[in-house]
Amino acid sequence: MSLYGMLRTGVSGMNAQSNKLGTIADNIGNSGTAGYKRASTEFSSLLLGTTGGQYNSGAVNTSVRYAISQQGAPNYTTSRTDMMIQGNGFFMVEDASGQPFLTRAGNFTVDGSTGNLVNAAGYVLQGYDITNGPAQINLNSTAGMVPINLSAAKFDAVPSTAGSFSANLPTSAAVVPAAQLPSANLATSTYSAKSSITTYDNLGNAVVLDIYLSNTGGTPAAWEMAVYNRANAAAGGGFPYAGGPLTTTTLNFNANGNLNIGTGAGQTRSPMAPFTIPGGQPFSFDISNMTNLNAAYTPTDPKANGNAASLIDNVTIDDDGVVSALDPSGQKRPLFQIPLATVPSADMLEPGAGNVFQVTAASGNIQIGIPNQGGTGYIVSSATEQSNVDMATELTDMIVAQRDYTANSKVVQTGSELLDVLMNLKR
């Protein structure tokens, strides 16, 4: 046995324990870092050949492994732009130079200078712009991705093109004489029921539609539906309007009180033809759920699409990664699709500064998909993923590494003393 080999083995052991203490220090230091993945030092022996009964001491090799695939516990917050991935997958982010990375750190905030969503390390979240349609995803490339940017101060004005209106028209309603129907637009016009609904023109101006419903009699019952632009109403509201009705249609009901649908025998109702919103677009009104029953006039679920130009009040992030803007009235509009990337072997990714990872040959290539589809996890808004560091384990490992380091130093110390004895033989 070589005394020098003994010294080298002891130094090798001290270096190995130093590496282990280094990973323990990193783990403890990052125990509060969102999305941090625990590092561990693995030892392997390096043995030298033994000849003639003489043992040659070897050394200890170390390698660092990362528990990247191990899920951290959730940490719930009050920020809607904080995100946690529950299950497999990584956020796609970029640094200032445009280099793509993977990360599990979802503590994103809006950068005041650019409007981009950035995490605590300054990496910009990437996704797909879906304001004009669904995301066109490239399965193995970041092509087509853009920064998730919330700097837009307002919605674009979206004109109304479709809506719906349903109501029960009471059978007890008095018949309105033909000369006094709303379609005549006279000061003496009357009606059985009235409702209003708001639509929007091309510039985002509100256009209120006054809907008049009048019992015209007959067996089965028939009703007239006339739609006016409230802006044309007489002083104080109502008839006569400055312009005629935007549309008029006849509602024919069967013996069961349901609106007739179709063109067969006895099916006399034609679909309500689209009409044009003043200053806006052709508008289709779905009135197929109208009824004529012995009950009070009961309008239900009146609605129309479109919206005025308005400030963004807040954002929502769904579990499938769709980022939507909300205006003060609660109108919701999808803006971006956040994808998730997966790799065959997540634990073989290469960590980088800022809690990011890069693909390696051992990890395999990325595959990009929609959250909660194809084996990816889903996104939890207003939460971040805690580090997967267990403090009790780290402190225990620290004690063991300290003892082992001390023991290896004793080997070096003993080897040095034996060399002193050897040197003293010559004196």
CATH code (residue 184): 2.60.98.20
217-231, 344-358, 407-421 — which is least confidently predicted?
407-421
Q: Are residues 239 and 280 in the same domain?
A: yes
Instruction: Give yes or no: residues 277 and 172 share one domain.
Output: yes
- Per DSSP bridges, beta strands 193-200 and 206-217 are antiparallel
Q: Kindly state the helix (H) or strand (E) to which residue 28 belongs, with its residue range.
A: helix 3-29
pTM score? 0.66
Strand 350-352 to 322-326 pairing:
unpaired
- Give the number of residues written for the chain: 427
Alpha helices by DSSP H, 93-227 = none
pLDDT at 146 over 90: yes
Residue 422 has pLDDT above 90, yes or no: no
Residue 385, H or E segment: strand 383-385
- Please indicate, yes or no, whether residues 193 and 318 belong to a single structural domain of this protein: no
Q: Are residues 230 and 333 in the same domain?
A: no
> Using CA atoms, how far apart are residues 320 and 256, in angstroms rounded to an integer?
44
User: Do residue 87 and residue 220 come from a single domain?
Assistant: no
Band (pLDDT 50/70/90 cuts) for residue 49 is: low
Pairing of strands 193-200, 367-369: unpaired
Model confidence band, residue 59 (pLDDT cutoffs 50, 70, 90)? confident
- Give the C-alpha distances (Å, rounded to integers) separating 306 from 196, 208, 229, 283, 328: 16, 13, 17, 11, 15
Question: What confidence score (pLDDT) does residue 271 get?
Answer: 60
Amino acid at 13: G
How far lies 93's CA from each of 123, 128, 289, 422, in Å? 6, 12, 48, 61
Indicate whether 33 and 66 sit together in one domain: yes
Residue 1 pLDDT > 70: no
Residue 141: which domain range? 74-155+312-385
Q: In this structure, are 168 and 296 located in the same domain?
A: yes
User: What is the per-residue pLDDT for 341?
Assistant: 95
On whether the CB atoms of residues 262 and 157 are closer than 8 A, the answer is no
Q: What is the DSSP letter of 274?
A: P
Tell me how far apart the alpha carbons of residues 110 and 114 are, in angstroms, rounded to a whole number: 8
Residue 139 CB burial class (10 angstroms; 0-12, 13-18, ≥19): exposed
Among 304, 325, 352, residue at a domain's last position: 304
What pLDDT does 247 receive? 94
Could you tell me which residues come within 8 angstroms of residue 89 by beta carbon, excluding any fewer than 6 positions away? 340, 341, 342, 371, 376, 377
* CB of 337 closer than 8 Å to CB of 146: no
Do residues 233 and 295 both lie within one domain? yes
Quote the tokens at residue 23: 């990973």
pLDDT tens by residue, 26-48: 999 999 999 999 999 888 877 76
**pLDDT of 265:** 47
Query: Are 61 and 146 within one domain?
Result: no
Cross-strand bridge partners of residue 146: 127
In which region does residue 268 sit, left (phi positive, over 0), alpha (psi from -120 to 50) or beta (all else)? alpha
pLDDT at 166 over 50: yes
Total tally of structural domains belonging to the chain: 3
Task: Give Dmax over CA atoms of the chain in angstroms.
Answer: 137
104's tokens: 């599990």
At residue 131, the pLDDT reads: 85
pLDDT digits (tens, 9 = 90+) for 232-275: 999 988 999 999 999 999 898 888 888 886 555 444 444 678 89
Whether residue 234 is found in the same domain as residue 220: yes
- Which SS3 state, helix, strand or coil, does residue 394 take? helix
Residue after which a domain boundary falls, among 241, 276, 304? 304
Kindly state whether residues 111 and 145 are assigned to the same domain: yes
* Pairwise CA distance, residues 111 & 91, whole Å: 18
Residue 406 and residue 274 share a domain: no
CA-CA distance, 27 to 36, in Å (whole number)? 8
Encode 358-393: b = buried (16+ Cβ within 10 Å), e = exposed.
Answer: ebeeebeebbbbbbbeeebbbbbbebbbbbbbeeee
Pick from 295, 303, 363: nearest CA to 330:
303
